[in-house]
Amino acid sequence: MRLRGIRRSKNVELRGGGTRSAGAKGGLGVAGVLAVLAIGYFTGIDVSPLLQGGSVSQEQGSSGVPDSAATEFSSQVLTTTEQVWTTVFRDQLGREYAPPKLVIFNGVTQSPCGGANGATGPFYCPADSKAYLDTEFFTALDRQMGAGGDFAAAYVIAHEVAHHVQNELGILPKVNAARQRGSEVEANALTVRLELMADCLSGIWARNVQGLMERGDLEEALNAARKIGDDHLQRQAGRVPQPHTFTHGTSEQRAGWFGRGFDTGEVGQCDTFAAAQL
């Protein structure tokens, strides 16, 4: 992805940290620890209990300084999302876009939605309209999930910003209220539609930054979408996929909805809640 000349967004908040999982015991090696962390990154599930249950020790580790290269990259990608959604909101929705803040941290931090660390993964908190990103995320994305490439990383940032778009449009609070009223299975099904919509909105972002894309970038994003499908992650964890537990959609669905947004560029085409079949 060609980002030279793209300014750094002013909507970035840098935070220190300092506590990170380190060491290994109980037979779980470093590779195993990273694999567990990677699952947490892409499912949005806090896997801390898996790491604290005799598998690894929690120690004072990193200096808590976010990686400068990752910060620069993330800040520039955030700028592209601001440019795209300002235009899309104006041209398609007749509205003004208010961009989110991106909190970049290393180790641990706090949000109104709860604590954030290397196990919680990137997430968007509607309570403060901020997306949270641990700079170690990019390493897990590449080495543990097999979804390397700068555009794959940019896609995930765009996905979290897409949740902010949903919040701006009033979709996120309505879905959250419906999830609280339903059963766990019903809540999961609603979450899948919410996440697939965010993938589609990410595709709209990608369509609008084609001038910055290099050869292979689109495939990097589609590969990342497939690698973080619920069915693929559950197989990677040695489990038989259980559709009723899915919260993000299958690999095919995630890549398909991203592609739909990329092909159409229309927010109206991303209404997963009106789709009879995902």
Residue 173 belongs to some domain of the structure: yes
Residue 75 belongs to some domain of the structure: yes
Residue 6 belongs to some domain of the structure: no
Residue 1 belongs to some domain of the structure: no
Name residue 15's beta-bridge partners.
Answer: 105
Over residues 65-101, the pLDDT tens digits come to: 667 888 999 999 999 999 999 999 999 999 999 999 9
Residue 200 belongs to some domain of the structure: yes
pTM of the predicted model over 0.75: yes
Q: Rounded CA gap, 93 and 24, in Å?
A: 51
- Check if the beta carbon of residue 245 is closer than 8 Å to that of residue 45: no
The range of the structural domain enclosing residue 262 comes to: 12-274
Over residues 127-168, the pLDDT tens digits come to: 999 999 987 877 777 777 777 789 999 998 999 999 999 999
Residue 208 belongs to some domain of the structure: yes
Residue 4 belongs to some domain of the structure: no
Domain count, the chain: 1
Q: Rounded CA gap, 238 and 14, in Å?
A: 37
Q: Can you point out the beta strands (E) in the chain? A: 12-15, 19-22, 57-60, 101-105, 108-111, 114-117, 123-125, 130-134
For residue 12, how far is the Cα from the chain centroid?
Answer: 16
Over residues 179-225, the pLDDT tens digits come to: 999 999 999 999 999 999 999 999 999 999 999 999 999 999 999 88
Residue 7 belongs to some domain of the structure: no
